[in-house]
Amino acid sequence: MSETAMDRIAKATPPRVARRIKGFSDRTIAWIFVAPTIFLLLAVNIFPLIWTIRLSFTNYRANRPNAELDWVGLRNYQRILNDGDIWQTMQATAHFLFWTLFFQVLIGFALAWLINRKFKGNDLWTTIIVLPMMLSPAVVGNFWTLLYQPQIGLFNNIVAYFTGADPTSFSMIGDVALAPWAIVIVDTWMWTPFVMLICLAGLRSIPDSIYEAAECDRASKWRQFWTITVPMVLPFLMLAVLFRGIENFKMFDLVVQLTGGGPGNTTTLTSIELKREAFEKWRTGYSSAYGIILFVTVFGLASIYVKALNKVKER
Amino acid sequence: MKTIHLLAAASIAVASGLGATRAHADELTLCWAAWDPANALIELSKDFEQKSGHKMSFEFVPWPNFADRMLNELNSGGQLCDLMIGDSQWIGLGAEAGHYVKLNDFFAAEGISMDDFIPATVTGYAEWPKGTPNYWALPAFGDVVGWTYRKDWFERPELRAEFKEKYGRELEAPNTLAELKDIAEFFQGREIDGKTVYGAAIYTERGSEGITMGVTNALYNFGFEYDDPENPYHLDGFVNSPEAVAGLEFYKQLYDCCTPPGSSDWYMSENIDAYKSGQVALQMNFAFIWPGVNADPNVGGERSGYFPNPAGPGGHFAQLGGQGISVVSYSDSKDAALEYIKWFAQPEIQSRWWDLGGYSALRAVVEDPGFATSQPYAQTFLDSMAIVKDFWAEPAYASLLLSMQERVHNYVIAGQGTAQEALDALVADWVEVFEDEGKL
Amino acid sequence: MSSFSVTEPSDRQKWIAGILVVGYALITLMPLIWILATGFKSSPDAIAYPPKVLFEPTLEGYVNLFTTQTRQTPEYLEANPPTTWYEEIVHDKGMVIAGPSRFGGRFLNSVIIGFGSTFLSVFLGTLAAYAFSRYRIPLKDDLMFFILSTRMMPPIAVAIPIFLMFRSLGLSDTHAGMILLYTAVNLSLSVWLLKGFMDEIPREYEEAALIDGYTRFQAFCKVVLPQATMGIAATAIFCLIFAWNEYAFAVLLTSGNAQTAPPFIPTIIGVGGQDWPAVAAGATIFLLPVMVFTILLRKHLLRGITFGAVRK
């Protein structure tokens, strides 16, 4: 509606108009506003990233700053990609990523939809549901090791109470088959509220008038849900998935505290492996290459995803 | 690549410049792990502050992050610590990378003789290379893996009778690993005072060093060797000898048959929890926990007994823990730091150290006639210290440790592959590390 | 909205929805209640086998959290009777208080770094988001994606360069360094959320202000900012939650001076083992500021993201 008016003022303000109305020109303001952000990101994110890329072609070890430094070309990359370990950790990460996103979207959306029924006190309960997200992941991971203890922990005893099984008959972090699920459960518990909040935001942004119009057309509730609710919430949901996906691909603190990557390598996610290479073996060059490979993976996936997201938004 | 070089060098130079203004000659920072004995050391050090006029401050880092944080500090030439009570395995790195000050001249000048300390602790905590009189630390805290057991359960007549019938011997602290397993099996799943109890809590932790510190107690005693005694760094046939394989298999059997469910990622503190909450009859753990067990309201005093790691078919050893105290070479207060070590080495201070719960490594203390009976666990400590063996103390020990953690945990806990495969893979990993290090 | 609206759910629907949500909330609360309760247990009760639901509350965990203790000989304990209630708790275990623990300092660091970086990332994010929303900036979409991409690098991979860089700038283990770092990490979220929000603010308002003779800058301060409060509040909550709880950078880049509480809490060691009551007490206290902050801004949180989340 105001596009044209705004275009005139905001987008194409000729410099002389701006000068006539005292103060900075629009272009100057735009730069003043954007520059600090870009500068900070360049200094604290991009500069280290470029440094990391350089290091990834060397045999540098941060614990021996005075040692002879060799350019090794692509050798670090070759070693990583030919080594079976990275595929194992990638698999563990993929399992974690897929199922946490799956459950968080499912439960988060369902909760948002239910809360949007606007029952009495929904505000209070929303706030309560959001609480786990505010805890520190490291502290959560640490405390859940206690909760998962078959003998003294809450989790097994509650499961036992409802199923009648012996609480000590299974061990969430000790069993190779259960451990990948143990980390999925904790992450889902912690971060479902995030997805829920953003879905709720999406639901509340749908104008009532659309439903009213659909009602006039005698569209069934079921049909309304699939043709109005879902498409309208989808961009929100996808943004939530984007942020959760990026975070969970980098997941470190929660899992390292919870399982330490075990049993064996079952829950050794890429970041845990990376930390071992970088800060325990001190193979800085090698770990830099590892980090770059991870970064390129997320970057590639995310750019495809953002393209899709933009398409959805344009619809 | 020069820029990186320069930047790294510059960073260290800048850091030293900053540090110079920060640390005063009369303010010392001592770095150690955050645990019971560290708190005792604060108490002990008050005497030093009084006598010397220096002010002590302490930086204690919890065990799971201790190695990461402190090695990070040392590797970056940091000046946080003037005195470092570093883990025994760091000594090679500390010496070769120049993190620690060599103490030979200081010992000679002050009349401190390493002969006055328990020999195993001198080898374990102070020497590099091992077996040579080059000292980089003063033995500060003796520690070794040993066992705690529920004496009150062992003394129950009905259990004793049943055990005797089943195994043909008395229910007593075990002398061999096989006996230990029998006892653990005997208690596993048993109903005691209305609760199901289990055999033994053993080290199984994945993230730092847990399972390695546990499994070695079986490996050593079955005949595992780190390398060929005649031919250093020659691993094949020693690390993965048939005896070593049998030792690893024993540890897995023990884990499978006789440990509490869910004990798949347990180290010092989880084992203590399990023992104190009455879940297990036996507990593997470092000796530092014994004063705490002895004082515990539920399992303390007469209810607990202690025994050294039992012998196996291939020998009788126990995994060494413990630390020596070193002066960090980046410190600006080296003289004051040396003064602290001199004070700490005095027999009366060492004796008080023991009283406060610190395991002194000074022979004058531990060989005192009253020592063995001064605490219920004192004799066990002495017996254990006589049979210690340590993990690699190479500069690359962290890489060696990581491989061992992975290979052993994969086999023992995750049940993947065979013991032979695990140890063969370990040999391959270690060979790679030593090749990278230029030692092979 | 009138009660006759077709979009208003029926009472029965509300009941069912309410029951399901409350049910979920109760399940989700259980671990939290367990943390809260463990903070008031004695050490043996915290690891009781089987777990204890009913127990005698004690402040032992909180005392342990805030003090360092040493074991003492019975003679010493007898000669130095406790004078305060907290000394008494410690005394009963055969220990004495050697001094305050480091929790207070770590907590203070968290407050400085958490709130400092939240302020900075929201401040910078608001400016940038406004510019992205209102001006024609070359390669806008690419710049936005670039900003997002800064969040994708695993912290551990860049920790060593950042560590070396901070060293040479004298920022290592300082509050300023950590604030800058967390701000940079949070900027992606803050710019993305706030831009969506700015897009939703009708441009007529500024237009009117400009016609009234305001400069662009004045229009931004006096017209846009007040409209944006909700979005800013919602963004601030998310930024604070991240900065408050961050672990990897904190554990790798800080030590004595600027270390925050998250690396500290899981590692509180009591007599021998992990001191669960103290850990739980620390987790509880550490949760409070974010919880209060969120409850204060609760209304804005929902409405903020409602307007601000996605619109491009």
Domains of chain B: 2-142+322-381 (3.40.190.10), 145-319+396-437 (3.40.190.10)
* Domain assignment of residue A292, yes or no: yes
> Is residue C311 classed as helix, strand or coil in its secondary structure?
coil
Residue A295 and residue C157: Cβ atoms within 8 Å? yes
Mapped to the 3 state alphabet, what secondary structure does C83-128 carry? CCHHHHHHHCCCEEEEEECCHHHHHHHHHHHHHHHHHHHHHHHHHH
**Tell me, what's the pLDDT at A304?**
92
- Residues A217 and A131 grouped into a single domain: yes
Mean per-residue pLDDT, B187-206: 94
Q: Which residue has the higher pLDDT, C28 or C100?
A: C28
- Residues A51 and A116 grouped into a single domain: no
Chain center to CA of B360: 14
- Largest Cα–Cα distance of chain C, in whole Å? 85
In angstroms, the Cα distances linking B269 to B107, B266, B288, C35 are 36, 8, 11, 18
Does residue C207 have a pLDDT over 60?
A: yes
**Tell me, what's the pLDDT at C228?**
84
- Residues A43 and A106 grouped into a single domain: no
Q: Which residue has the higher pLDDT, C175 or B437?
A: C175
Does residue B312 have a pLDDT over 80?
A: yes
* Domain assignment of residue A64, yes or no: no
- Cross-chain CB nearest to A281 (options B72, B398, B416): B398
> For the segment C240-279, what is each residue's pLDDT rounded down to a tens digit?
999 999 988 888 888 778 889 988 887 776 666 778 999 9
Which helix (DSSP H) or strand (DSSP E) does residue B197 occupy?
Answer: strand B195-201
CA distance B57 to C256: 11
- Residues A26 and A90 grouped into a single domain: no
Does residue C226 have a pLDDT over 90?
A: no
Instruction: Give me the phi and psi of A206, to 5 degrees please.
Output: -80, 120
CA distance B196 to A142: 26
**Tell me, what's the pLDDT at B271?**
93
**Tell me, what's the pLDDT at A17?**
46
**Tell me, what's the pLDDT at C299?**
73
Which helix (DSSP H) or strand (DSSP E) does residue B195 occupy?
Answer: strand B195-201
Mean per-residue pLDDT, B357-369: 91
Binned at pLDDT 50, 70 and 90, residue B397 comes out as confident
CA distance C195 to C235: 11
- Residues A108 and A190 grouped into a single domain: yes
* Domain assignment of residue A185, yes or no: yes
Mean per-residue pLDDT, B298-317: 94
Domains of chain C, first to last: 56-101 (no CATH), 104-308 (1.10.3720.10)
Contacts of B260 in chain A (CB under 8 A): 150-151, 168
Q: C 78-117 residues with CB below 8 A of A?
A: none
- Chains in touch with C (≥3 Cβ pairs < 8 A): A, B
Distance from the B213 Cα atom to the nearest Cα atom in chain C, whole angstroms:
17
DSSP state of B90: G
* Domain assignment of residue A194, yes or no: yes
Binned at pLDDT 50, 70 and 90, residue B105 comes out as very high
**Tell me, what's the pLDDT at C306?**
52
DSSP strand pairing (B138-141 vs B190-192): unpaired
CA distance B303 to B376: 11
- What percent of chain C has pLDDT above 70? 92
Distance from the B110 Cα atom to the nearest Cα atom in chain C, whole angstroms:
31
Mean per-residue pLDDT, B407-412: 95
Domain that holds residue A84: 78-314
Does residue B294 have a pLDDT over 60?
A: yes
DSSP state of C10: P
C40 touches chain A (CB under 8 A): no
Contacts of A147 in chain B (CB under 8 A): none
A188 touches chain B (CB under 8 A): no
Does residue C209 have a pLDDT over 60?
A: yes
Query: Which one of C42, C80, C274 makes the best mutation probe of the B interface by having the most chain B beta carbons within 10 Å?
Result: C274
Mean per-residue pLDDT, C119-124: 95
Q: Which residue has the higher pLDDT, B298 or B25?
A: B298
* Domain assignment of residue A61, yes or no: no
Distance from the B420 Cα atom to the nearest Cα atom in chain C, whole angstroms:
34
Q: Residue B319's closest CA among B158, B124, B165?
A: B124
Order of strands across the sheet with B27-33? B55-61, B27-33, B83-87, B323-327, B138-141
- Residues A154 and A270 grouped into a single domain: yes
Does residue C309 have a pLDDT over 60?
A: no
- Residues A22 and A163 grouped into a single domain: no
* Domain assignment of residue A65, yes or no: no
Q: Which residue has the higher pLDDT, B193 or C196?
A: B193
Instruction: Give me the phi and psi of B32, to 5 degrees please.
Output: -155, 180
**Tell me, what's the pLDDT at B37?**
85
* Domain assignment of residue A33, yes or no: yes
List the CATH number of the domain containing A277.
1.10.3720.10
Mean per-residue pLDDT, B417-429: 96
Contacts of A175 in chain B (CB under 8 A): 264
> For the segment B208-224, what is each residue's pLDDT rounded down to a tens digit?
889 999 999 999 999 99
Residue C47 and residue B273: Cβ atoms within 8 Å? yes
**Tell me, what's the pLDDT at B5?**
39
- Residues A124 and A11 grouped into a single domain: no
C159 touches chain B (CB under 8 A): no
CA distance C284 to A170: 29
- Residues A180 and A138 grouped into a single domain: yes
Strand-pairing partners, residue C274, are: C269
- Residues A165 and A204 grouped into a single domain: yes
Query: Which one of C216, C299, C307 makes the best mutation probe of the A interface by having the most chain A beta carbons within 10 Å?
Result: C216
C80 touches chain B (CB under 8 A): no
Does residue B15 have a pLDDT over 80?
A: no
Which tokens belong to C93? 């275990």
Q: What is the pLDDT along chain A (315 residues), one digit of tens a residue?
A: 334 343 444 444 444 444 444 556 777 888 888 899 999 999 988 899 999 999 999 988 877 767 778 888 899 999 888 887 788 899 999 999 999 999 999 999 999 999 988 888 888 888 889 999 999 998 889 899 999 988 888 999 999 888 888 888 888 988 889 999 999 999 999 999 999 988 888 888 788 888 888 888 888 888 888 888 888 888 888 988 988 999 999 999 999 989 988 888 899 999 999 988 888 888 889 999 999 999 999 999 998 998 888 888 776
DSSP state of B308: E
* Domain assignment of residue A63, yes or no: no
Contacts of B76 in chain C (CB under 8 A): 163, 167
Among A97-101, B22-26, C286-290, the range scoring the smallest mean pLDDT is B22-26
CA distance C94 to B357: 12
Residue B265 and residue A263: Cβ atoms within 8 Å? yes
Q: Which residue has the higher pLDDT, B77 or B236?
A: B236
C176 touches chain A (CB under 8 A): no
Does residue B6 have a pLDDT over 50?
A: no
In angstroms, the Cα distances linking A59 to A54, A86, A105, B74 are 11, 19, 42, 20
Distance from the C79 Cα atom to the nearest Cα atom in chain A, whole angstroms:
38
Q: A 230-289 residues with CB below 8 A of C?
A: 235-236, 238-239, 243, 246, 249-250, 252-253, 257, 270-271, 274-275, 278-279, 284, 287-288
- Chains in touch with B (≥3 Cβ pairs < 8 A): A, C
Instruction: Give me the phi and psi of B124, to 5 degrees please.
Output: -70, -40
Which tokens belong to B153? 């359960």
Which tokens belong to C182? 């967390």
- Cross-chain CB nearest to B414 (options A156, A260, A266): A266
Q: A 50-79 residues with CB below 8 A of C?
A: 51-52, 55, 62
- Cross-chain CB nearest to C44 (options B10, B288, B298): B298
Distance from the B71 Cα atom to the nearest Cα atom in chain C, whole angstroms:
11
Does residue B145 have a pLDDT over 90?
A: yes
Residue A208 and residue C1: Cβ atoms within 8 Å? yes
DSSP-based helix, strand, coil % in chain C, nearest 5? 70, 5, 25
Q: Which residue has the higher pLDDT, A25 or C179?
A: C179
Residue C256 and residue B289: Cβ atoms within 8 Å? no
Q: Which residue has the higher pLDDT, C152 or C107?
A: C107
- Residues A93 and A213 grouped into a single domain: yes
**Tell me, what's the pLDDT at C284?**
93
In angstroms, the Cα distances linking A115 to A108, A122, A124, B259, C32 are 10, 6, 11, 46, 21
Does residue C14 have a pLDDT over 70?
A: yes
Residue B40 and residue C70: Cβ atoms within 8 Å? yes
Total structural domains in chain A? Answer: 2
- Residues A50 and A197 grouped into a single domain: no
| Contacts of residue A276, Cβ cutoff 8 Å, sequence gap at least 6 | B402
CB atoms within 10 A of CB B436: 15
Mean per-residue pLDDT, B162-170: 94
